[in-house]
A and B are shown apart, each in its own frame.
Chain A
Amino acid sequence: MKTVNEMKLCIPSKSCNEAFARSVVSAFIMNLDPTVNELSDLKTAVSEAVTNCIVHGYRHQSGTIYINGKITAENKVIITIRDKGCGIPDIKKAMEPLFTTAPDEDRAGLGFAVMQSFCDKVRVRSKPDSGTTVTLEKIIGSENDR
């Protein structure tokens, strides 16, 4: 799987950076000529993952969010979003639709469900007290979207 382009972004876990992060990712994939839907899907998934870092990963503290992007020769976009926050004790439970640890803050509990629905593949690795890494994969230009 040959990588044709790469990017790295480090941002503080401020909520104003949610819009910034998804704008950077959408600019990064612009060369692939994505459809409006493909662009919107990836932006939404990135927004969910970055929000998770801020709302859950670094809940009672501030920290850095690390975003890596790769584009392969097969037009596959791989975005990795990592925090060094509190981690997820039970990933399976966290990925259940409508499960949230913050219902009183109007969180819908749909973050991971949205990422899974809007990307081709989602991987989550997490360790309590050391952080969480979410990897999103999406092929741009797949036949169904054209």
Chain B
Amino acid sequence: MLKTEFKNNILTAYIDGEIDHDSAAGIRTKIDAAVQTNKPKLLCLDFSKVSFMDSSGIGLVMGRYRQMKLVGGALRVINIPDRLYRLFAMSGLESLGVLR
């Protein structure tokens, strides 16, 4: 469901499967634990294997954005599948410059 990789101060979290209110809690706990352990400068959330998401996915990204900012780090969301982009476009995350 979630794999993480830490290299050159960058923590990449590969999210796999569906993100809804139910699954988001577990994903969030795992990402936050990995951030606490590795203390990365940059957190990358890789969405290439996300098959479905509702606005809980946006909440997950917004929460991680706030957290990384608190510790002086940055967040990027990478490999967003086309079909999920509409949700991201509605969220205002584009204007924060975190989407790639």
Contact = CB atoms under 8 A, between A and B. Distances in A.
Interface of A: 15-16, 18-19, 36-37, 40, 43-44, 47-48, 51, 54-55, 97-98, 105-108, 110-111, 113-114, 117
Contact of A51 (B18, B20, B28, B58): B20
A15 to B, nearest CB: 4
A19 B20 CA distance: 8
B90 A117 contact: yes
Nearest to B83: A40
B55 A48 contact: yes
A55 B91 contact: no
Interface residues of B, number: 22
Contact of B55 (A16, A37, A43, A108): A108
B7 interface: no
A44 B54 contact: yes
Contacts, number: 62
A107 B24 CA distance: 10
B21 A54 contact: yes
A60 to B, nearest CB: 16
B22 A37 contact: no
Contacts of B21: 15, 18, 51, 54-55
A61 B10 CA distance: 41
Nearest to B87: A114
Interface in B1-41: 18, 20-22, 24, 28
A47 B18 CA distance: 11
A125 B98 CA distance: 36
Given A44-B54, A108-B55, A111-B55, 20 more contacts: A15-B20, A15-B22, A18-B22, A37-B83, A44-B52, A44-B87, A98-B92, A105-B59, A106-B24, A106-B56, A106-B59, A106-B60, A106-B63, A107-B59, A108-B56, A110-B55, A110-B91, A114-B54, A114-B87, A114-B90
Contacts of B20: 15, 18-19, 47, 51
Contacts of A36: 83
A19 B18 contact: yes
Nearest to A104: B63
Contact of B59 (A19, A40, A108, A113): A108
